[in-house]
Structure 1
Amino acid sequence: MNSNAPRKSLSVIFVLCWLGLLADGYDLYVYGATLPGLIGHPPFNVTPAAAGAVGSIALVGMLLGSLIVGTLTDRFGRRRIFVGALGLFSVAMLACSAAPSWEMFAAFRFVACFGVGGLLPTAVALTNEFAPPGRKSLVLGAVLTGPAVGTVAASLSSLSLLESAGFRPVYAIGAAGLLLVPLAWFMLPESPSFLRIRLRAAEADALEAAYGLARTAEAPSSTARVSPTRALFAAGTARTTLLLWAITVLSLLTIFGVSTWLPQIMRTAGFGVGSSVSFLLAYSMGAVVGTVLASFASQKFGPRPLVIVGFVSAAAALLLMSGNPPAVLMTLLAAVAGFGGLGTQNMINDYIAQFYPSATRATGLGWALAVGRLGAIAGPAYGAMLVGFGGGVPVAAMAFAAPALLGAALMLALRAKAARQAVPAGSELVG
């Protein structure tokens, strides 16, 4: 640790990142929570096929956000990107609440998801860098409960407002993230490693002293220059990078397929609007509790085994749901599926953040999530196809268990201790 006693609290950073991710989670998962009030209801009276298409198109925005903004974070710094992404998706949510047509709603939803896609890599990179070395998994796990808590908030808002007031106030609540913008602008610090790479060593030294951080490595003096994106495929990392991309695709396909369509699938199974949304609430609560428990276990065993356990848990819960058990057991299984869905993705994010060095951490996570969005994009369309097919809960549950099992198999294929040297010695990262 830095010899100077810390003068500023690290908790402010973690709380702001958590609040940003809570807003991120609300704005992302509110679509699935409001589908029962959008499909076949005024003012849009959309069909399941149209709803699935918009869900997938919006997630193209997330892909672009993860890819573009995640890379820009390692070019322009964490703080500015965090604030910009937060402001963008919050304004877009307000626009969704006032959309005069389904086409305008879809356009605003695309913009919101672009901003959402850019926030997570930035928040994870900041949290990982400032977290104490011996408690990174614990701190990151706590911060990563933000999206799941946001999903809980989206479910509760829908339960309270959807039947009585429609979808508009539920989306308007998502604009509350704007309240965080000035706080994040004035209170979030920049990444010391980013400052040092930009040859702003004095600023990096001052930040490290202020927060009691260990001193980051000096900027390389070699003239060799490697971009953050190319560094993901440097010697010893290409295989792991590709496997992590595939694992993220399968994880996000399962998450977005289930979270988008779970309420509507339950609605078609005979549950009322409120009851069907309550299954998404159980799914979200399972993700919150599961992420907290997994972060404690990850601190001791590492995130890799927790990812495997999560995938297998999700698959098992979904397969058991295919038998149409009683409502109480179905709710419990939805919670287990939430742990194995959102909870597992949080552990994947933890693994990625620990695998790549700080100079490429946001880029590595941004690219993994960007490629993973292919699964997220496929998930709603996949669910729409299942709903249109008419197989109900049994068919949908078994169909979403398959990618979870494949994800567990690929995580087993990763070496237990993959090399973390993502940049050749003597090379300089350029933004």
Structure 2
Amino acid sequence: MSVAGSTTNKRWVLPLCWTSVLLDGFDLVVLGTVTPVLLADKVWGYGPGVASAVATAGLVGMTFGALAIGTVTDVIGRRRAMLLAVSLFSFFTLLCAFAPSAGAFGLLRFLAGLGLGGCLPTAITLVTEYSPHGKNGSSTTTIMTGYHVGAVLTALLGILVIPSLGWRAMFVIGAVPALVLVPLMYRYLPESPSFQRGERSARQGVDSVKSLLRPGFRRASIAFWVTSFMGLLLVYGLNTWLPQIMREAGYPLGAALSLLLTLNVGAILGLLVAGRIADRTELRPVTIAWFAGGAVFLALLSVRLPGPILYAAVLLSGAFVFAAQVLVYAYVGRVYPAESRATGLGWTAGVGRLGAITGPILGGALLSAGIAFPWGFYAFAVVGTLAAIAVTMVQRPASSHASAVTRPA
């Protein structure tokens, strides 16, 4: 048996997947860090319309990547799919640094998005299948801390790097880690214990997609898709527009950017806490409570609060909102059986990416109408409430063997 396929390398799964997801988090913020420079310097005649088109192109790529990767993973295996996703998005992220035009930049963001969209569900699937029995809640939330660590680091790098090296350097920095990560993954990342080489086919991959809507799973699948749509609408809507909404409320730019960092720090803390709680109880009530908590604190932000209370409210908003979305992924891992788990995660993340596109559009529309404060927070609170309601619709099929994940000896 090759080293890559040996289950003795299971200790590598979490750190390698965590690092991959960190690079995904880099992508969450990098476009936001370079866009002000592109707009101010009018690079390629960059304007708000072009900026929106480029951002949308990347999110559309992520949507297609997430929808396709589940089936691909169920056919070629988790390990190969992970290598493919990381190599793909790192290569095209590097090329973004040398884009000659806005059109080429948008195309490269779309192509990088294909890999980025496939990275997250594959990483979660691997970590879920290698997590100790009953611990997939904390395993999933732990790996997702990488997403927000990447977001925080990218915001800080933008402050340090762009003034001295320019915006193009940010994309080089985002691609360079793959030179180390991909060889390590090739050498040490094991295949999923539930995937049997030679026993899958393209036909079986198609069947795994159909299985998401078969009797017994249809209601859960639709509920997960609706919840993920709402959850990622909140994640991307808040990360894109929170600083500007706070500017509309009268806060200075420095405070608005600090609140964005506070939001993502809250996300990391919320993920760690939510995962531990999820391991000790059923995921359904925890996920509902986390979305409901997010709705409450988002509504609270519609009020002008004193400094310390404002930061506490933003911290708790991040803790509840972002962790709630990750709990959805953990819940998916418990509901679907092993043979369709990656497809279930891929489609949940893929439909959620449509919410990721909608969130910035919603925030932009409210800003254009001049009602982002306070109505933006009211709108986000309603979205969180709808997500909590959608989770209540999930019913775990009595015949599901999702919890009986095959563990390596």
Cα distance in 1 between the residues matched to 2:357 and 2:8: 41
Cα distance in 1 between the residues matched to 2:101 and 2:306: 39
1:408 to 368, 388, 393: 388
Q: Cα deviation per residue 1:116-164 (whole Å; 9 max; x = unaligned)? A: 1001111111111111213222222212222121112122222333455
Task: Name the structure 1 match of 2:362.
Answer: 382
TM-score scaled to structure 2, two decimals? Answer: 0.88
Task: Name the structure 2 match of 1:104.
Answer: 104
Per the alignment, do residues 281 and 44 of structure 1 end up closer, same or farther by CA in structure 2, a change over 3 Å counting? farther
Cα distance in 2 between the residues matched to 1:264 and 1:98: 29
Cα distance in 2 between the residues matched to 1:393 and 1:176: 39
Task: Name the structure 1 match of 2:265.
Answer: 285
Deviation for aligned residue 1:238: 0.8
Deviation for aligned residue 1:44: 5.2
Per the alignment, do residues 266 and 227 of structure 1 end up closer, same or farther by CA in structure 2, a change over 3 Å counting? same
Structure 2 counterpart SS, 1:144: helix
298-307 or 389-398: which moved more?
A: 389-398
Instruction: Give the residue type in structure 1 aligned to 2:193.
Output: P
1:310 to 281, 290, 294: 290
Cα distance in 2 between the residues matched to 1:115 and 1:155: 22
Cα distance in 2 between the residues matched to 1:337 and 1:420: 37
Deviation for aligned residue 1:267: 4.5
Instruction: Give the residue type in structure 2 aligned to 1:118.
Output: G
Q: Does 2:55 correspond to 1:76?
A: no
Q: Give the alignment of 1:69-218 within 5 angstroms.
A: 69-162=69-162, 165-178=165-178, 179-195=180-196, 198-199=198-199
Q: Cα deviation per residue 1:374-414 (whole Å; 9 max; x = unaligned)? A: 21111122222122222243222222222111101111233
Q: Cα deviation per residue 1:168-212 (whole Å; 9 max; x = unaligned)? A: 33333211341211111111111232116x349xxxxxxxxxxxx
2:400 to 421, 424, 429: 421
Per the alignment, do residues 261 and 53 of structure 1 end up closer, same or farther by CA in structure 2, a change over 3 Å counting? farther
Asked if 2 retains the 8 angstrom alpha-carbon contact of 1:356 and 1:422, the reply is yes
Cα-Cα RMSD: 2.7
Per the alignment, do residues 291 and 111 of structure 1 end up closer, same or farther by CA in structure 2, a change over 3 Å counting? same
Cα distance in 2 between the residues matched to 1:56 and 1:38: 16
Structure 2 counterpart SS, 1:52: helix
Asked if 1 retains the 8 angstrom alpha-carbon contact of 2:77 and 2:192, the reply is yes
**Divergent runs of 4+, >6 A:** none
Cα distance in 1 between the residues matched to 2:92 and 2:253: 26
Instruction: Give the residue type in structure 1 aligned to 2:93.
Output: M
Q: Give the alignment of 1:315-326 within 5 angstroms.
A: 315-326=295-306
Instruction: Give the residue type in structure 1 aligned to 2:105.
Output: F
Cα distance in 2 between the residues matched to 1:298 and 1:361: 19
Q: Does 2:326 correspond to 1:346?
A: yes
Instruction: Give the residue type in structure 2 aligned to 1:244.
Output: F
Cα distance in 2 between the residues matched to 1:262 and 1:37: 19
Deviation for aligned residue 1:332: 2.5
Instruction: Give the residue type in structure 2 aligned to 1:62.
Output: M
Deviation for aligned residue 1:270: 5.2
Structure 1 counterpart SS, 2:346: helix
Instruction: Give the residue type in structure 2 aligned to 1:340.
Output: F
Structure 1 counterpart SS, 2:173: helix
Structure 1 counterpart SS, 2:265: helix
12-21 or 185-194: which moved more?
A: 185-194
Q: Cα deviation per residue 1:200-251 (whole Å; 9 max; x = unaligned)? A: 9xxxxxxxxxxxxxxxxxxxxxxx9981111112231111111111111111
Per the alignment, do residues 254 and 326 of structure 1 end up closer, same or farther by CA in structure 2, a change over 3 Å counting? same
Count of matched residue positions in the alignment of Structure 1 and Structure 2 = 395
Asked if 2 retains the 8 angstrom alpha-carbon contact of 1:56 and 1:378, the reply is no
Which consecutive unaligned segments of at least 5 residues does structure 1 have?
1-5, 201-223, 424-431
Asked if 2 retains the 8 angstrom alpha-carbon contact of 1:53 and 1:381, the reply is no
TM-score scaled to structure 1, two decimals? Answer: 0.84
Asked if 1 retains the 8 angstrom alpha-carbon contact of 2:10 and 2:189, the reply is no
Per the alignment, do residues 225 and 384 of structure 1 end up closer, same or farther by CA in structure 2, a change over 3 Å counting? closer
Per the alignment, do residues 402 and 230 of structure 1 end up closer, same or farther by CA in structure 2, a change over 3 Å counting? same
Task: Name the structure 2 match of 1:216.
Answer: none
Structure 2 counterpart SS, 1:8: helix
Asked if 1 retains the 8 angstrom alpha-carbon contact of 2:88 and 2:115, the reply is yes
Per the alignment, do residues 321 and 161 of structure 1 end up closer, same or farther by CA in structure 2, a change over 3 Å counting? farther
Instruction: Give the residue type in structure 1 aligned to 2:181.
Output: L
Cα distance in 2 between the residues matched to 1:193 and 1:303: 22
Task: Name the structure 2 match of 1:52.
Answer: 52
Structure 2 counterpart SS, 1:194: coil
Cα distance in 1 between the residues matched to 2:25 and 2:271: 14
